[in-house]
Structure 1
């Protein structure tokens, strides 16, 4: 009976998906009208005269692109001055502490009841319906879902306003019926990472776990701990284990490790794109990792060609205007109170019917010190090729430029933590270099004759280095991520100093 009810619910949710796939432009036009109507009497709506906006072109003309620094004065009115009706016409009670990198300061992203129910939770239900449509024999909902959420506490900062990372906010506000199948809230919201790991281990080994949800890097830490403590294979502990819904970081560097630790041919790995600002994408089929852009979650999308990101007044494109094969920065307007907000991620559309895409990186997560324009997608593909050629398996990595010396050209320094070391570090470095040349013509040109860019410098770090570093700065667990590429040496120098001091 439970299975029958759940399948009917998922079939209903898939009809929602099919509707916006068939009518993407109309869906987005309706969302823009709803957002403007809801926001016209807010402080920001009056400031930019939302009432006069009649079209998407008016919207682009009247409202500037917002970065976090531009948004902060409005947030201070809510958080510090305790005002409402600033960014949205309903109370803003939650702020997601965004820690997408290991920077010391967190961003506070507004989260409303509407953005939770009509966005995050709606897309979560649609994610399950997409998965069930591709796996008609699924029975994951008959067991437990092990959720590894953020390790930050929910903090009350006065007058009913709370902060926490987005996973903690989602867990705290989740529908009661959804909580029944997940890791208990008392464990999920534990503030101490090490304590949580142990509690999750003790809980999980006694349950019929059939699905995982979380960030690949941190879940892997938990699974290794469970395997080490029990001395059992995970497939013996959880014979009905079926799927891992993952997001937050690229799965590519971790895929081989997961397939090794979960020795089950039928195990599914399902890509998602859920951030503090909204739920944007879900893998559409088993055949491809390309994600479907979620168009009916009351998020209005615009896109900036990557070549214009640093322009003073960049031209945005709407959904009708994007093309496949181009790199775009995402701009969103939401019922969480974000208006023409650049979230910092870049994507490339692989299809425009339906709208499928892949994440290519961050607007600030790249290396372009010498005109080479290396993005995350380039790095992931080149590293995967280098691993395939040398038998290596990567756990974590980061890279940064090495600047020109008196008698030398620049280079890229790669700090890599290997799960399995390559047959030869020199061979790995050459394969990485060759791989980057294949996927990036600018890099290939800069590498010509070693004139402006020397061969990459690759260093193997001891196992656990990144984890210990994150622990030392209180960034272990949850949504915290290693910045893969940096256009300066600030991060790698801090990491190198830490490793030297803790030999």
Structure 2
């Protein structure tokens, strides 16, 4: 009898030779990626504008092409959406990934040509399974199906010949037959646009299925699993799906969610992925580590700008052979989706070289620096995870904003937190969060000295379902949408207060 699990494991493991090659030869592989991109796009409008045919070395590429934000690239993307061909990438684009980002309400549209689908997104999915097999040789993941929790797509009003939607939906719609067989739920259910309807439809279709893995954003995966447990009257997910063994997660830091998943799915394995509308970038190659391997042969050329260079007219960027461990960089990508020296908005640190592993430290637009404290998302994630560990808490979601200085009050950070499991002592939670944030961020610690600039953080527990309702009202429920973690303004926090009918509170004088 054919053992599908053993056959699939053999097929996927064959890719490890390719992965080991770029782990050992990152500069060589990235040089090849750059030459491939330049050659492929040499006859496009962008290629002619910047003389791609004449670029032979990275230094020329770095000097000739500007670093661009989405707003700067958008006029060319807009023309592609109207049907123009050979603008940033060869051919006409039929698919665009729609992304709202996390700090801006305006939608972004990222072109997703066939090259990007096949050699970046699909390859990332295959390598995800390859690296999971390397870590868990006894896995039986292929004996069942993987539940994909994603978004939807639709025709673009400005041009009915193209479709736009969450990158997860674009990928699911275009998956090859073998991958469609492995994933669940059925495509009509997976692509439902109404998130609440989708949750109920998935539960009806899959409650008796053999689900071995889930791929999704932690926030919305928790919503699905808790509703499933409620309807089935069970305590643990494995009571319903006996072979459920791994959760492939991304989009947000996982540490604050780990206690909740451990409670409802004990013994579950976790593997982090870094995929975005713009491409598939990194995978956790060692489940005992908390970083990810940068995938260097997906048709993406990487550059990294030190944070102190941001804001300059032409910031100095460095390629893979020039980066340093432990330094915060803004990531810049040139891709087989037609993005050229594109400032994606994520900040990363290298945790190792040869192989090059990274951890995501935040967003270039998502931080709090109202008082010179320079708190990044990674700082907040580590602090809240530590506070949860100390007090037995688990969270659903959170957001943080500054409370500004005025005549009567000192500054503070206000944390709006929806708890899945409340801390046994809210003051102990606050003290642990504040203490750990001071330990890992010297700028924050300096501002907290003697309550001179900042008093202790304000913790505001929110009613159950607050963030889900808030995201629903903003038209950002489910899929790849994420609650913004940090903001250097109070618009999100005040909006939530208004929705709840709460009076906007100020910190006590200190």
Cα shift at 1:222: 0.4
Cα shift at 1:394: 1.7
Q: Distance in 1 between matches of 2:502 and 2:154?
A: 30
Cα shift at 1:409: 2.6
List alignment gaps of at least 5 residues for structure 1: none
Q: Distance in 1 between matches of 2:392 and 2:159?
A: 54
- Deviations along 1:178-223, one digit per CA (max 9) or x if unpaired, are 1012111111101111111111001111211111011111011000
Cα shift at 1:37: 1.0
The CA RMSD over aligned residues, in Å, is: 1.5
Cα shift at 1:159: 5.8
Partner of residue 237, structure 2: 234
- Is 1:100–1:479's contact at 8 Å kept on the other side of the alignment? no
- Secondary structure of 1:213 counterpart: strand
Q: Distance in 2 between matches of 1:467 and 1:365?
A: 20
Question: Structure 1 stretches (4+) deviating beyond 6 angstroms?
Answer: none
Within the alignment, does 1:181 sit opposite 2:153 as a pair?
no
Q: Distance in 1 between matches of 2:127 and 2:307?
A: 30
Q: Distance in 2 between matches of 1:109 and 1:365?
A: 20
Partner of residue 75, structure 1: 77
Q: Distance in 2 between matches of 1:378 and 1:330?
A: 18
- Deviations along 1:291-330, one digit per CA (max 9) or x if unpaired, are 0000000100000111222222110011011111111111
Partner of residue 279, structure 1: 280
Cα shift at 1:408: 3.0
Partner of residue 258, structure 1: 261
Q: Distance in 2 between matches of 1:52 and 1:95?
A: 30
Q: Distance in 2 between matches of 1:167 and 1:157?
A: 22
Cα shift at 1:426: 2.3
Cα shift at 1:427: 2.3
Q: Distance in 2 between matches of 1:468 and 1:391?
A: 26
Going from structure 1 to structure 2, the CA distance change for 1:254 and 1:140 (only over 3 Å counts) comes to same
Cα shift at 1:489: 1.1
- Secondary structure of 1:372 counterpart: coil
Going from structure 1 to structure 2, the CA distance change for 1:38 and 1:152 (only over 3 Å counts) comes to closer
Partner of residue 118, structure 2: 117
Going from structure 1 to structure 2, the CA distance change for 1:189 and 1:155 (only over 3 Å counts) comes to farther
Q: Distance in 2 between matches of 1:500 and 1:400?
A: 18
Within the alignment, does 1:269 sit opposite 2:270 as a pair?
yes
Q: How many residue pairs align between the two structures?
A: 499
List alignment gaps of at least 5 residues for structure 2: 504-510
Partner of residue 507, structure 2: none
Partner of residue 40, structure 1: 42
- Is 2:12–2:127's contact at 8 Å kept on the other side of the alignment? yes
Partner of residue 469, structure 1: 470
- Deviations along 1:221-273, one digit per CA (max 9) or x if unpaired, are 0001111111133212111111111111111111111111112x2x2111001
Q: Distance in 2 between matches of 1:119 and 1:378?
A: 30
Q: Distance in 2 between matches of 1:360 and 1:390?
A: 25
Q: Distance in 2 between matches of 1:390 and 1:8?
A: 44
Partner of residue 9, structure 2: 7
What does 1:255-334 correspond to in 2, within 5 Å? 255-263=258-266, 265=267, 267-334=268-335
Cα shift at 1:422: 1.8
Within the alignment, does 1:163 sit opposite 2:170 as a pair?
no
The TM-score normalised by the length of structure 2 is 0.95
- Is 2:153–2:164's contact at 8 Å kept on the other side of the alignment? no
Cα shift at 1:155: 4.6
Within the alignment, does 1:211 sit opposite 2:199 as a pair?
no
